[in-house]
Amino acid sequence: MSEETTVTKAQPKESPQRRKRRMDWFFHLLYCVVWPYFRLIHPVRAVGRENIPEGPAVICPNHTTAGDPFYVVFAFGFHCPMRAMAKMEIMRMPFIGWILSKAGVFGVNRDNTDLKAVKTAMKFLKEGDKLLMFPEGTRVHEGEDAQAKAGAALFATRAGVPLLPVYIQRKKKRFRRNTVVIGEPYNPEYKGRKPTSDELQAIAQDLMERVRALGEGVE
């Protein structure tokens, strides 16, 4: 009597093109679900859409409220899907974390150097995607001061893509337009083949100064 041998076929690896189509589909799905509420309660006024580059870029806004990612997404519009870095606690939430991951949102452990998150960010940028992340690393309320983290500078210099400064109106108002200003993309400058840690920090500080400059006269 012969024993039956079960052969498990390895699942084919998803191609970057197919992954992009899948994530864009979920991005557009979430956009259509959330947009009606946001349009009514938190309408967005976008300034500088002509500055959005065609290819990959690191989108870098200031961060004051939990809804800031939505302000950026709706300011950029339906036809500009993006990937996003979020704190790990959000990605661990039942269903919400699952559907966000399907749309290209990935978690980062802010307490340690998260190599997996770094590799994911680099992969998206090298595949031509735009990456949304908040250089300050956390919400910064009025009157508070937070030093910019060097992550955005690291991704932009390693992937060879521009930084895109964005200013989100700090004081949000319901049923009134809240302004999002999109600045001009630029490639950070540094000496040598790779920037030093000091140069990365200087790039990060310069980035946030550009972001704050965009907000002059907005509030």
In the block, residue with structure tokens 């870095």:
85
Over residues 7-48, the pLDDT tens digits come to 556 667 889 899 999 999 999 999 999 999 999 999 999 999
What share of the chain has pLDDT > 90, as a percent?
83
Place 78 in a pLDDT band, splitting at 50, 70 and 90: very high
Q: For 80-99, what is each residue's pLDDT tens digit?
A: 999 999 999 999 999 999 99
- As a whole number, the mean pLDDT across the chain is 92
Quote the DSSP letter at residue 218: T
For residues 142-164, give the mean pLDDT: 90
Q: Which residues contact 27 (CB under 8 A, 6 or more apart)?
A: 81, 82, 103, 104
Q: Mind listing the pLDDT tens digit for each residue in 47-65?
A: 999 999 999 999 999 999 9
pLDDT higher than threshold 70 for residue 156: yes
Specify the CATH number for 16-214; select among 3.40.1130.10, 1.20.1300.10, 2.60.40.420, 3.40.50.720.
3.40.1130.10
Domain residue spans in the chain?
A: 16-214
The letter for the amino acid at 157 is T
pLDDT of residue 1: 46
